[in-house]
Chain A
Amino acid sequence: MLTEVKNQLKITSLSIKYAIMREMLNKGTFIMKVIFMLLNDASFIVQWIILYSIKSDIGGYTFEQILLLWGFAAGTFGITRFLFKNAFSLSDHITNGKLDCYLVQPKNVLLSIITGESDTEALGDIIYAYILLFISGVTLGKLLLFTVLLIAGSIITINFAIILGSLSFWFGRSDYIADTGNGLITNFATYPDGIFSGIPKALMYSLVPIGFIIYIPVKLISEFNLLYTIVILTVTIITTILAFIIFYKGLKKYSSSNLMMSKI
């Protein structure tokens, strides 16, 4: 059991390493991409600086909290796209029969798929997340908590993507559902939740779990609360179990395909 887990981790990290290597073949463009990603992110912050110079409280958020909001948004986006990019194209993998080569390997199919590709410029988002944390004022405790919450949020984001992608096992081409769902997270993530209420707010703590990925974490950094931390960790575990169950249920319906293709 333990060696099995060890071997699986070895393959997963190798897979991530190779996926990153592929993207970094050209170091020059890689560095440029990361820099541009950083600049792109930074331009949004300028908007908020201007907003806060007019008003000191937007949607119940202070400027520091807005920075953290953006930090969690960029950080979870960065980690998930950097390490598990293929979780967001799971639907395409299923409908186009791209699971075949993973299914004949004695390793976890789901992990093999989601680690098969990397979006290396997303490294810029991860760096940016930490820059924001530093600007908002950081202590060692906050740094640790931020990292733990970022990892938990990334796992929840991936689980969400896996569940949406797995719908393709039952409904065929349903990548638009997954794309919309994953897009919702990215889009909501950059607004203070104070401006939402009622049904949208309820959705954020259920169907689109953005509350656990962004909003609660922001509050936790401002003011630590053990109960909420436990809630986040529980949600992380439950969604992971759910994602695995749904994926493996769907896998029985997998129909492969006869398309000519290669693993790019």
Chain B
Amino acid sequence: MEKQNVIEVNNLKKNFRVKEKESGLKGSIKSIFKTKYQNIRAVNNISFNVKEGEMLAFIGPNGAGKSTTIKMLTGILYPDSGSIRVLNIDPTKQRKKLAYEIGTVFGQKEQLWMHLTPLDNFKFFGAIYDLSKEETDKRIKELKTLFDLDKFINTPVRNLSLGQRILCEISASLIHNPKILFLDEPTIGLDPVVKQSIRKLIRNMNKKFNTTVFLTSHDIADIEKLCKRVIIVNHGKIVVDDSMSNLKKEEGTLEEIISRIYKGEEKHHEKVLGNIQS
């Protein structure tokens, strides 16, 4: 059976205009009278598709444009140009409709109410997605066993460790059983044990519900253990879009290969890019 595209991105672009300021008091005074703007090409003409049930690593060096892309796919940012279809929904036009279908986890931003327990938070998120009380309870029970949340489900979030908190963040974003899960550096700052359990969970979820996973991470093990396909972006452009196994055929460890590509030394991308983009 031919698998459906759940994400279709064409010629996506996003620039940020940031104020340029010279250093020191003199610079500050100057900037009052004449503001210089710098145009940052965060995402510069990106096109790709993702199929249903796929686990995609969307990686690249710091500032490559990964978060910006995710934010456009999830309806947070408006693109400057290009088109996006996520589950056949245009995030710029039907943000709420899309929100029912996707889950998002930003490792660096919290969505939970800190003073509430995870349990109350999950109930709140259940209500956000219009789940009935029974549905929410059933889902919480599933997530509780899946993530082993029992020990701290009744402790206010502010008193949890970072790892426990992230587990709860991910659980909360899964409460409505989303078809696509967007994860922006979900394992940032976590110890190896927690990282492992998060990976296991993502893999289980993908197997059980055929959830599509869109993952960014600077942790090579995350992507190696989870993803069969890799997209590498640099300076807002896609430089590699290939299967993990193809990428690994290059010389050295995955980390070495990826580093070379980040630095622009690896030629791998040129071979593959030919049949993806013109």
Contacts and interface: CB of A to CB of B under 8 A. Distances in A.
Interface of A: 3, 7, 10-11, 14, 18, 21-22, 25, 99-101, 103-107, 172, 252-256, 258-264
A21 B117 CA distance: 12
Interface residues of B, number: 32
Given A21-B116, A105-B128, A261-B109, 17 more contacts: A3-B130, A10-B127, A11-B127, A18-B115, A18-B120, A18-B124, A101-B106, A103-B75, A104-B75, A104-B99, A104-B102, A104-B104, A254-B77, A255-B77, A258-B108, A263-B110, A263-B113
B109 A105 contact: no
Q: Is the interface of A mostly helix, strand, loop or mixed?
A: loop
Nearest to B72: A256
A21 B110 CA distance: 19
Contacts of B16: 255
Interface of B: 16, 19, 67, 71, 74-78, 95-97, 99-100, 102, 104, 106, 108-116, 120, 124, 127-130
A260 to B, nearest CB: 5
A172 to B, nearest CB: 8
Nearest to B156: A25
A100 B169 CA distance: 14
Contacts of A260: 108-109
Contact of A252 (B78, B120, B127): B78
Contacts of B102: 104
B109 A101 contact: yes
A101 B172 CA distance: 12
A101 B113 CA distance: 11
Nearest to A108: B96
A18 B113 contact: yes
Contact of B114 (A14, A101, A252, A262): A262
A235 B116 CA distance: 38
Among A104, A107, A262, A264, chain B packs the most CB atoms within 10 A around the CB of: A104
Contact of A100 (B19, B71, B120): B71
A261 B112 CA distance: 12
Nearest to B105: A104
Contacts of B113: 18, 22, 263
Nearest to B97: A106
B76 to A, nearest CB: 5
Given A258-B108, A263-B113, A106 B129 contact: yes
A24 B74 CA distance: 34
Given A100-B106, A255-B16, A258-B67, A107 B128 contact: yes
